[in-house]
Structure 1
């Protein structure tokens, strides 16, 4: 099979690796518009279950990713001078640039051609191939040419956020909430190497404009944010993306869905197919799982259309629960004032429950008491398991 992968992100690279391992005769080229080593973002997160899947697919790249990752198990929240620690599952962080290096080197060693500085503006720029994999992100030009066919839908979150780095190495997944005269602003930080961490900062649009962050240059905005988060940063600087015009890279998160994931021999993968809010840390995991499923279905089905149909059907079903969790997680932060006056330990407990479709419809203090009781009463746990998905389906049906 001759394959063109557009976009050199984790999904395209890992897909090319898996295809070559299944059949070295596949002719695969990955086209990436940026130079080798150039990427946005700082570190990415994933959980132990992903490593198990990567080991099953390619033990060599899984071993390299594991060795280059940092780990944590606790969550820490800072608010109003109080610090709350909550044990959790083991998380992993790795620099996005390092992840791409590992996957790129492995793909090249298997015979995949990597063409950097080669942006593909549309299908007409590609050679004739059996399969085109659109891994060119949320702004996919290949998907945009057929928006009506794919049924693309994009919704924008209310809050403003900025993706930054810092030399402060967080040894736990760290939350910090700061009250200002213009409302609350908060960050989540996690380590991804021995010398750096990711620090995502978020606030309401009213707080953003009230603090002047909408008008501040990147350098002035970073200086203000460093003062606001001086305690969790422990004197370390924040690092921006240094654009040519000096503007800060504040964004509204875009949630993207598609009704179908392929058209003829063009198939969507990763952020070109779907996005989930950054607060659940699942974007890279979902992209790599897309690659695993696509490579498998292509070898399970003799007809290309059958393989791509099976891939899309399977992955859309698998990510439904995560998309729901991401939606409720984003809404929790958008409605922070509803929770911020709780005692810190209770607030942190509900922060951990932010994916629940039940939480927005129950008074927070009552939900906390029910959740604590459910921890020891099987009947209440069963009621929550039954009511949560039932409520989610009802609300989804009403929105549709």
Structure 2
């Protein structure tokens, strides 16, 4: 369709990228970005872009990606638990300053002919446009005012974003124990002199440290920053933590029944969010922009274009949201796993959401997986040719009538229903638990997480039952410490 005028609400990565792509596709269309903040005012620190996302951006707009890469900072990934470190190579993963990313996108949008307007809040009713693209973020006022069927789920854990004035050698995941509980940082370099430090904890630790009474407003929480700076002094190498409207938050998962309403269409975080632990916010937003502009350019009217856009993007978004949900639950319960050797913990991290098969991880990081397998089996480090078969050998058992059977189906392995299951299991004082349930993959992954809780909190030996076609997931569960033994649903020979 030939568009006369398009208005974009929100001057973040999603809105700026969509505006540029649309102007390139339809040079005669008037495209205006409305951002209520000032041009040079932004919040946050670094943004990560994985190799897959970069390939999609290169296909859509190589000029913009070239400048993003030029300002980016490549790094690998490590996990550090009490000084024991496991390193994973992560080719082509880059961190880039959010300010640098926005500067690149602003320049390229204006170069294409987009008009950028800052410093004034606009709403849909103010705008004379054929299409209004709402890219106004997780707290989208446009979404809340429209008929999108939105729902927001708030996480249990708490986190805050801060930075430091030096570049880490690699991204690092590191827990630190304090007198109040455990804090975990997800930190990574994004410039030659800057790193992001995202720090999270559970509510009990947060309250014990007194953070429930610290500042909550527009300014940074200096009390928490001072405390965390001391807690992470080893990882900070003598540097201070830097705040930028840094305060404790709970992650909000946004889901919408519809991504469009009349002439308005949602983009990026306004339409959907996925937990930061899979680094997907900017990825999803910019990939949304590519799909939306393609649909607007090729379909005969806005309604048809919006339908095509949502049909193209929703499956990928929902898949990533499910991965993110599992990852979020894993990180919110992370301190319970720090007893594992760091290599086994890295395997648990990589397989936490079911997205990275154990054998594929072994190809890219044989040293880490080899060490983890050796720790699991009590043998020298190794990566056998038939990795899954080797892991399962001697750890597959038939049905045991003497086991206490756990057959309650839960959605959240750390939620209230799971708490009740664990409490009953603990009261039985059984020496052997058998966790059974539906044969689909999602149910098995959840069952493995519930089994991990039983191992840690109820004691005894835990057997997880699953179909033989999901033997790879069962093997990953064993190496990750989610189960002691496994059983196949069908009769064993």
Q: Do the structures match in fold with TM over 0.5?
A: yes
Matches within 5 A, 1:183-198: 183-198=181-196
Preserved CA contact (<8 Å) 1:165 1:199: yes
- Structure 1 residue 393: Cα displacement: 6.8
- Structure 1 residue ranges without an equivalent (≥5): 243-247, 360-364
Residues 313 and 208 (structure 1), Cα distance of their counterparts in 2 relative to 1, 3 Å cut = same
> Given the alignment, which residue of 111, 114, 135 partners 1:112?
114
- Structure 1 residue 263: Cα displacement: 0.8
For residues 388 and 190 of structure 1, the distance between their equivalents in structure 2, rounded to whole angstroms, comes to 39
- Structure 1 residue 374: Cα displacement: 9.4
Residues 303 and 87 (structure 1), Cα distance of their counterparts in 2 relative to 1, 3 Å cut = same
Q: Which residue in 2 is equivalent to 1:14?
A: 17
Q: Which residue in 2 is equivalent to 1:143?
A: 143
For residues 394 and 308 of structure 1, the distance between their equivalents in structure 2, rounded to whole angstroms, comes to 35
**Partner SS for 2:39:** coil
TM-score, scaled relative to structure 2: 0.71
* Corresponding pairs, count: 375
> Given the alignment, which residue of 69, 73, 81 partners 1:66?
69
Residues 45 and 380 (structure 1), Cα distance of their counterparts in 2 relative to 1, 3 Å cut = farther
For residues 84 and 209 of structure 2, the distance between their equivalents in structure 1, rounded to whole angstroms, comes to 24
- Structure 1 residue 337: Cα displacement: 3.8
1:240 aligns to 2:243 (yes or no):
yes
Q: Which residue in 1 is equivalent to 2:350?
A: 352
For residues 272 and 229 of structure 1, the distance between their equivalents in structure 2, rounded to whole angstroms, comes to 33
- Structure 1 residue 213: Cα displacement: 2.3
Preserved CA contact (<8 Å) 1:357 1:391: no
Q: Which residue in 2 is equivalent to 1:297?
A: 295
Preserved CA contact (<8 Å) 1:261 1:312: yes
Residues 240 and 281 (structure 1), Cα distance of their counterparts in 2 relative to 1, 3 Å cut = same
- Structure 1 residue 85: Cα displacement: 2.0
Matches within 5 A, 1:23-102: 23-73=26-76, 75-102=77-104
Q: Which residue in 2 is equivalent to 1:392?
A: 442
- Structure 1 residue 88: Cα displacement: 3.2
1:125 aligns to 2:134 (yes or no):
no
Q: Which moved more, 1:178-187 or 1:214-223?
A: 214-223
- Structure 1 residue 182: Cα displacement: 2.4
> Given the alignment, which residue of 228, 232, 237 partners 1:229?
232
Residues 321 and 393 (structure 1), Cα distance of their counterparts in 2 relative to 1, 3 Å cut = farther
Residues 100 and 178 (structure 1), Cα distance of their counterparts in 2 relative to 1, 3 Å cut = same
**Partner SS for 1:214:** helix
- Structure 1 residue 391: Cα displacement: 2.7
Residues 375 and 9 (structure 1), Cα distance of their counterparts in 2 relative to 1, 3 Å cut = farther
TM-score, scaled relative to structure 1: 0.87
Q: Which moved more, 1:1-10 or 1:346-355?
A: 346-355
Matches within 5 A, 1:279-318: 279-318=277-316
- Structure 1 residue 389: Cα displacement: 10
- Structure 2 residue ranges without an equivalent (≥5): 216-220, 358-371, 393-436, 447-493
**Partner SS for 2:41:** coil
Whose Rg is larger? Answer: 2
**Partner SS for 1:190:** strand
Preserved CA contact (<8 Å) 1:358 1:391: no
**Partner SS for 1:168:** coil
